[in-house]
């Protein structure tokens, strides 16, 4: 995850410091506690790099609950969750 965070930080500079993300987490079932802690760090870094909105496609109620906790811990209030990729993409295109 650290290498992804670093790459996104570089891309952010190329995009003028502001960007949205679409994340497909339909196959994610459960986060281990250490994974959830890393995800909080990742979200904070993305916000600091200029992330404006995150549209996350989820496939389970457990993932939704864990992401809600992660977003709260990262003080990430612009994350939205969707059941389909098309819904998430449509939201970001608005």
pTM summary value = 0.86
Which residues 6+ apart lie within 8 Å of 17 measured at CB? 49, 50
Cβ contact 67:58 at 8 Å:
yes
pLDDT of 9-39, one tens digit each? 888 888 888 999 999 999 998 889 898 999 9
Measured distance between the N- and C-terminal CA atoms of the chain, rounded to whole angstroms: 28
Is the pLDDT confidence value at 44 over 90?
A: yes
Which residues 6+ apart lie within 8 Å of 85 measured at CB? 22, 24, 57
Taking alpha carbons only, the member of 15, 24, 94, 84 closest to residue 49 is 15
């Amino acid at each position: 995850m650290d290498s992804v965070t670093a790459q996104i930080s570089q891309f952010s500079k190329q995009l003028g410091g502001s960007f949205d993300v679409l994340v497909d987490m339909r196959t994610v079932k459960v986060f281990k506690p250490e994974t959830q802690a890393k995800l909080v760090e990742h979200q904070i870094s993305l916000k600091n790099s200029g992330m404006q909105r995150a549209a996350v496609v989820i496939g389970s109620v457990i993932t939704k609950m864990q992401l809600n906790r992660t977003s709260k811990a990262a003080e990430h209030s612009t994350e939205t969750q969707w059941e389909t990729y098309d819904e998430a993409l449509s939201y970001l295109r608005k």
